[in-house]
Structure 1
Amino acid sequence: MLRIGYVRLTDAGSAGETATLKAKGCHVVRAEEPSAAGGDEFAVLDSILDFVGPGDQLVVTRLDHLGRGARAVIEVLERLEQRAATLFVVDPELSTEGSGGRALRAALEAVAALEPPSLGRRRRPAAAQEIRDLQRAGIGPVEIARRLGVSRMTVWRKLRAVEA
């Protein structure tokens, strides 16, 4: 089982969160810096969710690092479930494994029902032609992903689909 730590660098206290995740046994810790360019502000999280595999665990220090509102967190949980992976939150200690996971999801769904619809996070669909045009211009996959606000895996999949 691979434990992948994820932290959003939003304030001065974020630096200690990386050490906390390492202390919790994370093999890899990825940090998300606030996006000034207005792109996908959760690009690192998206790439982790594209990478995570069966039996792996995403570890965060706080639940609010996963998105703006309960709907965004539910979306992350759904993507983890699709990949047969789990979530572990350090503070308060929560996990999506077992009955606690069902309770966590039920609580999030109750909160999401009360949220205004505009708080949900929407992923920008990546146009294959746009990705191909940037590649032809000599831009690498990592930079394409950053510019378009999508994961690197999305870039590779779209390029593969265009070539086929």
Structure 2
Amino acid sequence: MLRIGYVRLRDARSADDTAILKDFGCHVVRAEEPVEPGSDEQAVLYSILDFIGEGDQMVVTRLDHLGHSTRNVLRVIDRLEARGASLFVVEPELCSDGEGGRALRAALAAVAAVEPVWAGRKRRRAPAAEEIRALQEAGVGPVEIARRLGVSRMTVWRKLRALEA
């Protein structure tokens, strides 16, 4: 059985997670570096899911390393099981094998059922008043400004009103 560790490097604690996974007996530890917005945020995770074989085990220190929502975590577990592999979480100690695995899946499914669909999505950035003013000065109307910036017309009107005040 091959143990593959996975960690997302986001904070000081994440750097310690790499050592924890090595001490836990992981043969390989792969780390997800912080990425620029718009790129594939979990490319390393997906490469592990494509590589992992039957009887292997993916190990993480915490469940939140697998995704921003419970649905994402369930998708990862599904992909592991489809490959004949399992998941082991160090803190708290959980495994996707056997009876405990069924209980883990049931608990995650229950949480996912009540979790808002938008959980984990990033909120869009409100446009700066200067952006709106520049478009208005260029002769673009409020409706077209709203369409170009991906906001409501009311947002454009509020920002313009705030600039006039």
Q: Name the TM-score, length of structure 2 as normaliser.
A: 0.71
Q: How does 1:24-39 map to 2 (within 5 A)?
A: 24-39=24-39
Give yes or no for the alignment of 1:106 onto 2:111.
Answer: no
Q: How does 1:4-153 map to 2 (within 5 A)?
A: 4-119=4-119
Gaps of 5+ in 2: 122-165
Gaps of 5+ in 1: 122-164
After superposing on structure 2, the runs of 4+ consecutive aligned residues of structure 1 that deviate more than 4 Å are none
Shift of 1:120: 6.5
**In structure 2, how many angstroms separate the alpha carbons of the residues matched to 1:19 and 1:26?**
10
In structure 2, how many angstroms separate the alpha carbons of the residues matched to 1:49 and 1:120?
21
Once the two structures are TM-superposed, the CA of residue 36 in structure 1 deviates from its matched residue by 1.2
Instruction: Give the SS at the match of 1:6.
Output: strand
CA RMSD of aligned residues (A): 1.2
> Deviation of residue 61 (structure 1)?
0.3
In structure 2, how many angstroms separate the alpha carbons of the residues matched to 1:8 and 1:85? 20
Residues in 1 aligned to 2:23 and 2:2: alpha-carbon distance in whole angstroms: 14
Output the CA distance in 2 between the equivalents of 1:75 and 1:120: 14
CA distance in 1, matches of 2:99, 2:76: 18
Query: Which stretch of the first structure deviates more once superposed, 91-100 or 30-39?
Result: 30-39
Larger Rg: 2
Q: Report how far residue 38 of structure 1 moved.
A: 1.9
- Please name the residue that 2:154 is paired with: none
Other structure's SS at 1:13 match: helix
Query: Which residue does 1:160 correspond to in 2?
Result: none
Sequence identity of aligned pairs in percent? Answer: 69
Q: Give the number of equivalent residue pairs.
A: 121
Q: Deviations over 1:85-130 (max 9, x none)?
A: 0000000000011100000000000000011112378xxxxxxxxx
Tell me which amino acid in the other structure corresponds to 2:111. V
Asked if the contact 1:71–1:120 (Cα under 8 Å) also holds between the matched residues in 2, the reply is no
Counterpart-to-counterpart distance in 1, 2:19 and 2:85: 23
| Higher RCO (CA 8 Å, separation ≥ 6 residues) | 1
